[in-house]
Amino acid sequence: MKEAGGDVREVHVRILSQIGKPVDEPQVAAVQLLPAEGVKLAKVRPNAQAVTEKWFRQIDTIPRLLLTGKLTVF
């Protein structure tokens, strides 16, 4: 994760939205972090929360980023 400066190995995000509700207002948003070896979760948690909130503010840009290859999944 570039934003974590190498402190995070992997990030898994799961979003459960509700039909008829905006996607940026999910019922559940779960973020699982796998810190780099020797890094405590407490160190990366505040930055992870900030990055998550940033992406939710710009969630409508994600489809375009996927289609243009600027964002990848899996």
Interval 3-40: pLDDT, tens:
656 889 998 888 888 899 887 788 988 899 999 999 99
| More reliable by pLDDT, 67 or 5 | 67
CA distance 66 to 5: 23
Domains for the chain: give ranges and CATH numbers.
Answer: 2-67 (3.30.300.280)
CA distance 47 to 40: 13
- Residue range 36-63, pLDDT digits in tens: 999 999 999 999 899 888 888 888 888 8
Instruction: Answer for the pair 3, 47: CB distance below 8 angstroms, yes or no.
Output: yes
3-class DSSP assignment, residue 58: coil
Query: Residue 2 has what pLDDT?
Result: 57
The phi, psi pair for 12, rounded to 5°, reads: -120, 130
- Would you state the structure tokens that stand for residue 37, as one six-digit string? 């070896």
- Residue 66 pLDDT level (bands cut at 50, 70, 90): confident
